[in-house]
Amino acid sequence: MVAGLLTKITTTNDQQHEHLHRQPPHLDGSTPLNLQTSSVLAFHGKNVPSITILSYLSRINKYCPTSYEVFLSLLVYFDRMTEKVNAGPMESLRQANRGAMEHNRSARSSSESLASDAMEGVTTSSPPPDTQTITPPPSGYMEKGVEDGRPGTPHSRSFGSESPPNPPEPMSIDPYNLSHFFVVDSFNIHRLVIAGVTCASKFFSDIFYTNSRYAKVGGLPLPELNHLELQFLLLNDFRLSVPVEEIEAYGTMLVEFYAREVVAQQKAAQAQAMQARSLSESSSDSTNTVRAVA
């Protein structure tokens, strides 16, 4: 069930965050990274492992058997890491969105005010039909420009402008590189799983194995697993304790998800069977018709 849920999550994120799969520009040392971002990128692989999540978890459980709560706790840890890492970038994006909206609103208001002033000036300066006298600009127009003493302000622009200026381009709403976000996908799920099992086994169980065994089973060099274990602890603030109520809630959620998936798969299988049966019956009817005509 855990493998099914993780597969569903990674498949969905792979489809929605395909641009995250590009190699992040962090290894050349040209871009300074904070510790949190470095911890996130430590789990990102260059390629997607060929082994499926189900096979990977089965391999771990076969050669490093542990309790079920260890595998269930992975879901809790991944949610904690997502909330912790993405809180800062999401807040920055919200602030950037608010700033862009205020900037556009201010530009729109300034444009409307300028257009209103221009229309007022045109109305005031229109001469009567029977006279050729030229009416000066509206009262206060030049005085305001002189008082401001700033070229380019709405009150010191040329009166004969054909149309109000275009509003400035909106600000970018993505000030963060996407590599700053923590997203569970096919490029990091295997490293996250083996690092999480290594940490959780030592916390929940009295019987656990050496890191060299976990590294061998997980297909990683021992130094890399040691590094990933530390980064996993850092991203969880070294909080591996999970209340019983939270474990039960995640277990209930997992069972409900699995039940929905099983029902959906059964319905899909029934639909395919009915479609195949209808095609077979249609083909049989056509054959009988041809024979009858012959």
Instruction: Report the greatest alpha carbon distance in the chain.
Output: 105
Task: State the pLDDT at residue 61.
Answer: 96
Name the least confident of 125-134, 180-189, 255-264: 125-134
Task: State the pLDDT at residue 286.
Answer: 66
Q: What pTM value is reported for the model? A: 0.64
Task: State the pLDDT at residue 154.
Answer: 42
- Comparison of pLDDT for 205 and 284, the residue scoring more: 205
pLDDT in tens, 32-43: 667 888 888 899
- For residue 266, CA distances in Å to 138, 215, 262 come to 78, 38, 6
Name the least confident of 46-60, 114-128, 229-243, 271-285: 114-128
pLDDT in tens, 207-249: 899 999 999 999 999 999 999 999 999 999 999 999 999 999 9
Residue 152 scores a pLDDT above 50: no
**What confidence category does residue 272 fall into, taking pLDDT thresholds of 50, 70 and 90?**
confident
Q: Tell me: domain 2-89+183-275, CATH 1.10.472.10, correct?
A: yes
User: What mean pLDDT comes out for the span 108-118?
Assistant: 67
Residue 277 scores a pLDDT above 70: yes
- Comparison of pLDDT for 29 and 79, the residue scoring more: 79
**What confidence category does residue 142 fall into, taking pLDDT thresholds of 50, 70 and 90?**
very low
* Percent with pLDDT over 90 in the chain: 42
Mean pLDDT of the chain: 77
User: What mean pLDDT comes out for the span 265-282?
Assistant: 81
